[in-house]
Amino acid sequence: MKNIFKEKNQSSFQKKLNWEDVQHEMKKKFGKDIYDSWLKKIEFIDEFSNYILISVSTRFIRDWITSRYLDQILNIVQSYKREINRIEFTIKDKINNGNEIKDINDKEEFSDRNVSFIRDSFLQYNRFDPNKNFQNFILGSSNKLAYEASKKVTQDLAHYNPLYLYGGVGMGKTHLLNAIGLSLKQKKKVMFISAERFMYQFVKSIKSNEMVKFKDYFRNTDILLIDDIQFMNGKEAMQEEFFHTFNALIDKQSQIIVSADRPPNKLSRIQERIKSRFSGGLVVDVQNSDFELRYNIVKAKTVELKLFHSSQINISEEIQKFICSEITSSIRELEGALNRIVTFSKIYNKTPSLSETKIILKDLLNLSENRVTIDVIQSIVCKFFKISKNEMLSARRSRYLVRPRQTAIYLAKLLTSKSLPEIGRSFSNRDHTTVIHSVKTIEKLRQEDKELNSNIDNLKNKILYNKVNEI
């Protein structure tokens, strides 16, 4: 049995990674629920020259963490120790009393009998929600173009190819992809899959030596719908396969529809040639919803909930307008707010008042009020210091630019849950060490300069309440 402890970092004088710090950052990044459910029980085994070894209890947990959280965990690890460029797993029961760990690349671990690629297994992920169709998609000025482009695709295949839909969480992108699939699945061979699931199936096919089946399945479809393409970031092998699949489908005039949380040119760690292919089709922004759209959605959902519960559930117009005014970031949060109000009505057999609604939705309202983005921070800081955002993000090191830049970086670290590498990328791909230096510099200056300290407190309050126009 191969003992991978022999690869242990020879530079023992270097500072070891503090896993408790990583755990603390993971909890901040992913939230308590995800952390407690999936990440809390990760055990740190050892650190080697350029990677760390961690342990989980089952293969299922390993695969789940790998597909959903591994890239972000690696970013956190690298914010503390740049030399680490990968994370490897072992299963707890593989650790024996002699402190020997079975290599994760051991053939037994990856044998065909343990991991199999079954063509039909795609079908369980290729299901369409009948409730997400074009008929019940609520139209507004912010999503009309995306809706019309999606409808056009169902009527005239390859008219817009690829069709690239992007926008924030809960804006209706998945609904539109599902609606396209529903409209075409009786006439065409349709494949609807998330980028995350595409990656999972890709890895399974490699492990089971069945890449030919994988390629045949995806390259012989008529319509390929891929949700959340941004999850392919940094996965070079998968991007390579997707690129060739993309070209094969375009060549045979199959339709490709992709969704993401940002435009093609803003996708990080995605091959330039893939971004170029996306940009060559129709790129449509599913914009944040306005009040009218949110109100129409809430009214429609209220009717649905009344029908579903077969009861006299009453959500007043005042309450409907209130939640539409206060919860603006996501349609899903609006739906969640309605579900809470309905649950309250059923349990207490009464219609909640506005004051009771505020208590019921207290955490959602706080999230809405205090949501901070790096873009907002940059805008407010630039306006305060009377510089342009282009100047702030430039490579220039003039004193009148350095201090505002450091201040914005400091506030981004203070007021958001972004990791150091993520913050650095938002400031023209600056290194995470630059972020650390900026944070430490401002922390020191706050202690020494009362005026600067007061200015930062002032900026912090304006950022928290997004008062960019009050500077």
**Cβ neighbours of residue 146 closer than 8 Å, sequence gap 6 or more:** 165, 167, 172, 173, 176, 284, 285, 286
Query: Are residue 301 and residue 260 in the same domain, yes or no?
Result: no
Helix (H, G, I), strand (E, B), or coil: what is residue 117?
coil
- Compute the distance between CA of residue 362 and CA of residue 78 in angstroms, rounded to an integer: 36
Maximum C-alpha span of the chain: 71
Query: Are residue 72 and residue 213 in the same domain, yes or no?
Result: no
For 48-75, write each residue's pLDDT tens digit.
877 888 888 877 788 778 777 887 888 8
Instruction: Evaluate whether 136 touches 179 at the Cβ level (below 8 Å).
Output: no
Query: Are residue 136 and residue 254 in the same domain, yes or no?
Result: yes
pTM of the entire structure?
A: 0.54
How high is the pLDDT of residue 14? 52
**Residues facing residue 224 across a β-bridge:** 191, 256
How high is the pLDDT of residue 170? 78
Instruction: Evaluate whether 392 touches 401 at the Cβ level (below 8 Å).
Output: yes
- What pLDDT band is residue 103 in, cutting at 50, 70 and 90? very low
Domain harbouring 174, CATH code: 3.40.50.300
How high is the pLDDT of residue 121? 46
For 169-220, write each residue's pLDDT tens digit.
778 898 999 999 888 888 888 888 888 888 888 888 888 888 888 888 888 8
How high is the pLDDT of residue 145? 92
- What is the dihedral sign for C-alpha 377, 378, 380, 381? positive
- Compute the distance between CA of residue 107 and CA of residue 104 in angstroms, rounded to an integer: 9
**Residue at which a domain ends, from 94, 114, 146:** 94
Total tally of structural domains belonging to the chain: 4
- What pLDDT band is residue 334 in, cutting at 50, 70 and 90? confident
Query: Are residue 253 and residue 352 in the same domain, yes or no?
Result: no
Tell me whether residue 54 is in a domain: yes
Helix (H, G, I), strand (E, B), or coil: what is residue 158?
coil
For 335-385, write each residue's pLDDT tens digit.
888 888 888 887 878 888 888 888 888 767 754 445 678 888 999 999 988
Cα-flanking dihedrals φ and ψ of residue 161, to 5°? -145, 115
Query: Are residue 133 and residue 173 in the same domain, yes or no?
Result: yes
Minimal CA–CA distance to 175: which of 242, 125, 208, 129? Answer: 129
CA distances (Å), 300 to each of 106, 132, 296, 327, 334, in order?
55, 14, 6, 17, 12
Residue 236 has pLDDT above 60, yes or no: yes
Q: Across the chain, what does the average pLDDT equal?
A: 80
- Kindly tell me the burial class for residue 105, based on how many C-beta atoms sit within 10 Å of its own C-beta (0-12, 13-18, 19 or more): exposed
Phi-psi region of 457 (alpha: psi -120 to 50; beta: other; left: phi over 0): alpha
Tell me whether residue 323 is in a domain: yes
How high is the pLDDT of residue 169? 77
For 396-424, write each residue's pLDDT tens digit.
888 889 999 999 999 988 888 788 888 98
- What pLDDT band is residue 126 in, cutting at 50, 70 and 90? low
Find the mean pLDDT for residues 97-121. 37
- What pLDDT band is residue 101 in, cutting at 50, 70 and 90? very low
SS3 annotation, 235-300:
CHHHHHHHHHHHHHHHHCCCEEEEEECCCHHHCCCCCHHHHHHHHCCEEEECCCCCHHHHHHHHHH
CA angle 218, 169, 39 (to 5 degrees): 80
**Cβ neighbours of residue 31 closer than 8 Å, sequence gap 6 or more:** none
For 79-95, write each residue's pLDDT tens digit.
888 888 788 888 765 44
- Domain of residue 314 covers 291-370
Query: Are residue 310 and residue 381 in the same domain, yes or no?
Result: no
